[in-house]
Amino acid sequence: MTLDEATKWMEKGIVIVDHNTSYIDENVEIDSGTTIYPNVSIRGNSKIGSNNIIDSNTVIIDCEIGDNNKILSSYLTDSIIGNDNYIGPFAHMRQKVILGNNNRVGNYVEIKDSVIGNNNSLSHLSYVGNSEISDGVNFSGGAITANFDLIKRQYKKTIIKDNAIIGANSTLVAPVTINKKAFVAAGS
């Protein structure tokens, strides 16, 4: 972006670390206190709240993002993100993701068409698709939801209720419901 464009953002209280490598579409809205690091692209009709840290190599397209989030080198499209979340590095959120508050979405986690509640940990190397995850869930590394029925050619839903623990390298084959405080052993 040009220095003049960056100056307009900075006058609104947004920190642009390197205007030469950052891009922000004209329809984007950003509240004060948010910091944009180098090589960030924010496009479409994205709305970003206050006091967020958007670290280098992040792409945000048509997202609504709350306050106090830290987003590290991630790709986010068509999603709604609440407050106080820690995302990335290298997370991919796409197609109608709704993420609540105070969640940890770790490195190499992909989320698609899912609703995630509050206080959850989706550590790393995981895939969550067509799912509903309540609150306080630990979705361990390498766990996935297998949401596509190849024979019927349709997507199925996975539901994980409050305080469940999904062990490392587990595969949840939809349609399936994991009840409150359930424990799915590693490798299941």
The residues annotated with a catalytic role in the active site are 124
- 94 phi-psi bin (left φ>0, alpha ψ -120 to 50, beta other): beta
Residue 76 pairs with which residues in a beta bridge? 60, 93
The residue among 65, 60, 57, 22 whose CA lies nearest residue 42 is: 60
Residue type present at position 2: T
